[in-house]
Amino acid sequence: MHEMSLAESIVQIVEDTARQHGGTRVASVRLEIGQLAGVELDALRFCFEAASRETVAAGATLAIDQPPGQAWCMPCGGSVTVGSLADPCPDCGSHQLQVTGGTELRVRDIELG
């Protein structure tokens, strides 16, 4: 349950960006949280609401893009989609997978209101 730390990071990044651009209110924040990033989105929303209280980000809506888990399957020699880190290759069943996507944790953009 590290979502509070992540929510605090989001608020810091949003405040920093809003200040640089002379913004005093933030209408929405767009995040990219990969499906393999190990983040519980409901918990993140809950924590963001608490962490953003009395900041420029207070009341901002969170829009969350969720890139799917992608991995390179060594036996298949190709890219496959996986739902979790414990999943096998959907084609050959191997666990020899190198994760290539779905672990993103970033603020994409903010909407100043």
Partner 1 sequence: MCTTCGCGTDHVHIDGVGLALSRGAHAPLTGTEQFVPAAPLPVTAEEAGIGAAGVHAHGTSAARIVQVERDLLAANDSWAAKNRQRFAASRTLCLNLVSSPGSGKTSLLVRTVSALAASRPVAVVEGDQQTSNDADRIRATGVAAVQVNTGKGCHLEAPMVSRALDRLPAMAGGVLFIENVGNLVCPALFDLGEAAKVAILSVTEGEDKPLKYPDMFRAAKLMLVNKVDLLPYLDFDVALCEANARKVNPDLEVIRVSARTGEGFDDWLAWIARAAA
CB half-sphere exposure, 10, CA atoms < 13 A:
36
Q: Which two tokens stand for residue 75?
A: 């036996």
Rounded to whole angstroms, the Cα distance separating 52 from 14 reads 10
- Nearer to partner 1 (CB atom), residue 79 or residue 98: 98
User: Smallest Cα–Cα separation from 66: which of 101, 109, 99, 100?
Assistant: 101
In the bound complex, what is the minimum distance in angstroms from residue 113's beta carbon to partner 1?
5
Judge whether 25 and 91 are in contact, CB under 8 Å: no
Which of the residues 31 through 90 are near partner 1 (CB under 8 A)?
38, 43, 46-47, 50, 54-56, 58-61, 84-86, 88
Does 16 sit near partner 1 (CB under 8 A)? yes
- Nearer to partner 1 (CB atom), residue 76 or residue 107: 107
In the complex, the residues that contact partner 1 under the rule CB under 8 A are 1-10, 12-19, 21, 23-28, 38, 43, 46-47, 50, 54-56, 58-61, 84-86, 88, 95-97, 105-113
